Amino acid sequence: MTQLADLQSRYASADFLSFTEVAPDFITLKITTPFSTATVALQGAHVMTWQPKGQKPVIWLSKAAKFAPGKSIRGGVPLCWPWFGAHATEAAYPGHGFARTIPWTLLDARKLPDGRVRLEFEPAMNDTARAQWPHATSARNSITIGQELVIGLSTRNDGKAPFQLGQALHTYFEIGDIRQTSIAGLEGCAYIDKVAGGKLKKQKGAVSFAGETDRVYLGTTGCTGIIDPVLKRTILITSTGSRSTVVWNPGAEKATKMGDFGRQGENKMVCVETANAADDVITLAPGETHRMTAQYRVIKHG
């Protein structure tokens, strides 16, 4: 029995869930709730889309995104785990870790009494992942779909020695126009400006965008808002287990070089990432679990 047939059989009674093989060995889940719809790729337990009823999509997915085993998807909510950015010592290891390019196993899918849907996944660690991450580790990604989207990434140290964990929910948000978009909630925070060679700066007022923007904000409080006057909404981001927030827009030149943003896709997205990055990397003791969550909610203007 194929994996697709097995999933369809196991969840045949789940009227809120369907499975599609969008490309060879690349299965996605379609979730329908009374409040919103979503699609999730098994690879990386990767939320690809989320759209509340009566709203434009909140999570951005590139029209040029590629769906193939081992290839990261441009858009959605890539899981950067178990390190963020370049590996600390091995330049050949994949940027942002391997979580987003390995298969994850669907452990559970259920409709909650209030109509929301909750999915639970764990990573199917392969030889490459174990070679790059030689620590006994358990991980879970929990996705709750309703009027809000809530993602919870948990990591447990099952070994006998502590290890350092870096991670991010690398979420791409859909906006009307990057030049008219601003981000509130980071005022006064220090940030590492990766476009300025990693220089440490301090945020004055709301974050605005005039070209490539790539910043790691430090000591963040877990509440930010993407203010979008074009789509007449604010996307509220509430995080726990995270004291760093990454803000990224590639700008036109870098987006073109990346090749999977689609035509001027960079004007319609911004990444605001709930993270444990830079000096917010977590040291996990044996037996300890760290959970990082993000909740996304839309407030309509006017």
Return the active site residues. Answer: 170, 273
Q: How far is the CB of 87 from ligand TA6 (least distance, A)?
A: 12
Q: Does 273 bind ligand TA6 (CB under 6 A)?
A: yes
User: For residues 74-93, which are near ligand TA6 according to CB under 6 A?
Assistant: 85
How many residues touch ligand TA6 (CB under 6 A)?
11
Torsion angle defined by CA atoms of residues 284, 293, 114 and 13, in that order, rounded to the nearest 10 degrees: -70
Of residues 101 and 234, the one with the C-beta less far from ligand TA6: 101
Interacting residue with ligand TA6 among 46, 96, 116, 140 (CB under 6 A): 96
Out of 33, 36, 72, 142, the residue judged to bind ligand TA6 by CB under 6 A: 72
> Pick from 98, 248, 261, 296: which binds ligand TA6 (CB under 6 A)?
248
Residue 70 or residue 85: which is nearer to ligand TA6 going by CB? 85
Output 269 or 298, the one with its CB closest to ligand TA6.
269
Residue 131, number of CB atoms within 10 A of its CB: 10
- How far lies 160's CA from each of 85, 104, 155, 203, in Å? 26, 25, 15, 40
- Longest CA span, the chain: 57
Give the footprint of ligand TA6 on residues 104-133 (CB under 6 A): none
C-alpha distances (whole Å) from 147 to each of 36, 157, 174, 296 are 6, 33, 17, 9
**Structure-block tokens of residue 225:** 């808002």
Q: Is 246 in the site for ligand TA6 (CB under 6 A)?
A: yes
In the complex with ligand TA6, which residue's Cβ is closer, 19 or 173? Answer: 173
Question: Which residue of this chain has its Cβ atom nearest to ligand TA6 in the complex?
Answer: 248
Position 298 contacts ligand TA6 (CB under 6 A): no
**Measured between alpha carbons, how far is 35 from 142 in angstroms, rounded to an integer?**
18
Q: What is the smallest separation between the CB atom of 146 and ligand TA6, expressed in angstroms? A: 27
Rounded Cα distance, 245 and 302, in Å: 28
CA distance 14 to 17: 6
46: left (phi over 0), alpha (psi -120 to 50) or beta: beta
Calpha distance 165→162 (Å, rounded): 10
CA gap 154, 276 in Å, rounded = 12
Q: Which is nearer to ligand TA6, 231 or 255 (CB)?
A: 255
Contact 206, 184 (CB under 8 A): yes
Q: Is 212 in the site for ligand TA6 (CB under 6 A)?
A: no
Residue number with CB closer to ligand TA6 (31 or 189): 189
Binding mask 166-205 for ligand TA6 (x = CB under 6 A): ----x-----------------------x-----------
Smallest separation (angstroms) from ligand TA6 to the CB of 273:
6
Q: How many residues does the chain have?
A: 302
272 lies in the site for ligand TA6, by CB under 6 A: no
Report the nearest approach of ligand TA6 to the CB of residue 245 (Å).
Answer: 10
In whole angstroms, give the CA distance from residue 185 to residue 237: 10
Q: H-type helices in the chain, by residue range?
A: 3-10, 127-132, 251-258
Q: Which residues in this chain contact ligand TA6 in the complex, by CB under 6 A?
A: 72, 85, 95-96, 170, 194, 214, 246, 248, 271, 273
